[in-house]
Amino acid sequence: MSYRITGSTGEWEIVVGLEVHAQVVSEAKLFSGASAEYGGEPNTHVSLVDAGFPGMLPVLNRECVAQAVRTGLGLEAEINLFSRFDRKNYFYADLPTGYQISQFAHPIIGKGKVLVDLADGSTREIGVTRLHLEQDAGKSIHDQDPTRSFIDLNRAGVALMEIVSEPDIRSPEEAGAYLRKLRQILRYIGTCDGNMEEGSMRADVNVSVRKPGETEYRTRCEIKNVNSIRFVMMAIEVEAQRQIEVWEAGGTVDQETRLFDHVRGETRSLRSKEDAHDYRYFPDPDLLPLVIEQAWVDELKAALPELPEAKRARLEQEYGVSRYESSVLCVEQAIADFYETVARGADARLAANWMLGDFFAALNRTGRSIENSPVSAEGLRELLGLISNSTINGKIAKEVLEDMVETGDSASAIVERKGLRQVTDTGAIESAIREILAANSDKVEEYKGGKDKLFGFFVGQTMKAMKGKGNPALVNETLKKLLSE
């Protein structure tokens, strides 16, 4: 089912490509030894190289190269053994050298792909055009002084990966799914923390529209620096709408750079094509071409963690979880690891049910993440074990889990403390039922007269009398037997 926007002249299709800037996880910056850590007092993570002092030279940080290669492998992309750094020249106060070192003509990573899952259960492949390494700029601060701007160079020179998608995206939903999947891959590999609030992942969104069936692309606009997945989706929608209105009014869309204003829910022109910078790219003569060995790439590949798609397939196969369950369990490695710890030595299907249900609910309620979950994987496994061996039933288990979250006690300790052990003594169950039937002889008559629905009532009354501890199967069986007497 294709996403379409209906305008006054009929339906429109949208065409979107994303350029994602992902900050590389590394100790030091791309070309200097200064710390790449986020935050810090302004201008404390700055070397003379970052500040562009006379005679300072860039020296490539090999770990950043390794991170780019790992990411390329995660995107199933071509790894270019030869790549090169170029200078992108423009003047700005937070760009100390007057040029950004980037990779223009020869990026380190070529064509790759990302598989995205859509809400209707379908999967789409979004092409990756390229990934290249480049330096981040510093930060200009304009709101601290009425006449002056301040510059913080902490971020200047930090390594970024620019990941460019093909114009394969056809709906805001796909754009969101692509970004989430990309972020998931980057986090799995540990090459970017994907934190959009801190700016470690930002997107430039290229949007154009066309009539369904058209094979050529129409003019696109680039929406710069959108910093949340939700805003990317919103920006695409409003920009597409704007372009459709322009076309339908008989106008033409101009190629330009725009900004997304999420408060007003609109995009605004930043600069037109005529005002576009001439970046005067040329190979940076301070750096040699980057030549890497296939053997090194192989080494990095061998050391890669299991990636989301592979993990899902394995979980489905090994533990019999559904496609949906695997997608939820594999959102983060920590969740999948937690699940596997629980599932090993427990009923794996039951474990998936519990994690997706009561366990996540407990995390949400307590505002905790999987890393500092109030219940350990071992603790949850013990609880599920108590269900499996009929020590407690599912209903009691919910109560036990709540107690575990609250007190931190183990499941078996809580069961003992509260005397929640399930009653499997048929004698005790039978006597409890007999009391219920005796006290409700009218209902017994109605039941026998054909009102089958009353069976549930008897089960409920029995469980209530037994404080929920009756073994459900035995209660059912015994009730049937006694009611047919």
Partner 1 sequence: MSGIHDFTLASARDALKARKISAVELTNAHIDAIERLDGQLNSFITRTPDQARKAAKASDEALAKGEGGSLCGIPLGIKDLFCTNGVRTTAASKILGNFVPPYESTVTANLLKDGAVFLGKLNLDEFAMGSANLTSAFGPVENPWKRKDSDAKLVPGGSSGGSAAAVAAGLVLGATGTDTGGSIRQPAAFTGIAGIKPTYGRCSRFGTIAFASSLDQAGPMARNLQDCAILLESMAGFDPRDSTSVDTPVPHYEAALKRGVKGLRVGIPKEYHVEGMPAEIEALWQQGMTWLRDAGAEIVEVSLPHTKYGLPTYYIAALAEASSNLARYDGVRFGERVSAPTLDGLYEASRAAGFGDEVKRRILIGTHVLSSGYYDAYYLRAQKVRTLIQQDFLKAFENVDVLLTPTAPSSAFAQDEKPSDPVQMYLNDVFTVPASMAGVPALSVPAGLDARGVPLGLQLIGKFFDEETLIAAGHAIEQAAAFHHRPTIHAGVSA
Judged by beta carbon, residue 94 or residue 399, the one nearer partner 1 is: 94
**Minimum Å distance from CB 281 to partner 1?**
8
Q: Which residue, chain included where needed, has tokens 């474990």?
A: 351
Angle between helices 377-388 and 411-418 (to 10 degrees): 50
Binding mask 91-110 for partner 1 (x = CB under 8 A): xxx--xxxx-----------
- Backbone region of residue 72 per phi and psi (left: phi > 0; alpha: psi in -120 to 50; beta: other values): alpha
**Minimum Å distance from CB 138 to partner 1?**
11
Q: Is residue 57 within the footprint of partner 1 (CB under 8 A)?
A: yes
**Minimum Å distance from CB 133 to partner 1?**
15
Among 82, 217, 282, 324, binds partner 1 (CB under 8 A): 282
Q: Which residue, chain included where needed, has tokens 């997608």?
A: 327
User: Of 214, 243, 246, 22, nearest to 134 (Cα)?
Assistant: 22
Q: How many chain residues are in contact with partner 1, going by CB under 8 A?
A: 30
Q: Is residue 51 within the footprint of partner 1 (CB under 8 A)?
A: yes
Q: Which residue, chain included where needed, has tokens 């089958």?
A: 452
Judged by beta carbon, residue 89 or residue 219, the one nearer partner 1 is: 89
CA angle 205, 207, 209 (to 5 degrees): 165
Q: Is residue 149 within the footprint of partner 1 (CB under 8 A)?
A: yes
Judged by beta carbon, residue 97 or residue 393, the one nearer partner 1 is: 97
115 beta partners: 125
Q: Is residue 280 within the footprint of partner 1 (CB under 8 A)?
A: yes
**Minimum Å distance from CB 101 to partner 1?**
11
Among 3, 7, 35, 60, binds partner 1 (CB under 8 A): 60
Q: Is residue 291 within the footprint of partner 1 (CB under 8 A)?
A: no
DSSP H helical ranges for 166-293: 172-189, 229-248
Q: Which listed range, 85-93, 124-132, 190-198, 418-426, lies at the site for partner 1 (CB under 8 A)?
A: 85-93
How far apart are the C-alpha atoms of 466 and 434, rounded to whole Å?
A: 13
Within 13 Å, how many C-alpha atoms sit on residue 81's CB side?
A: 7
Q: Is residue 56 within the footprint of partner 1 (CB under 8 A)?
A: yes
Judged by beta carbon, residue 58 or residue 470, the one nearer partner 1 is: 58
Report how far Cα 43 is from the mean position of its chain's Cα atoms. 32
364: its two tokens: 């949400």
How far apart are the C-alpha atoms of 135 and 156, rounded to whole Å?
A: 7
Q: Is residue 87 within the footprint of partner 1 (CB under 8 A)?
A: yes
How far apart are the C-alpha atoms of 192 and 201, rounded to whole Å?
A: 8
> What are the residues binding partner 1 (CB under 8 A)?
48, 51-60, 87, 89, 91-93, 96-99, 149, 151, 278, 280-282, 285-288
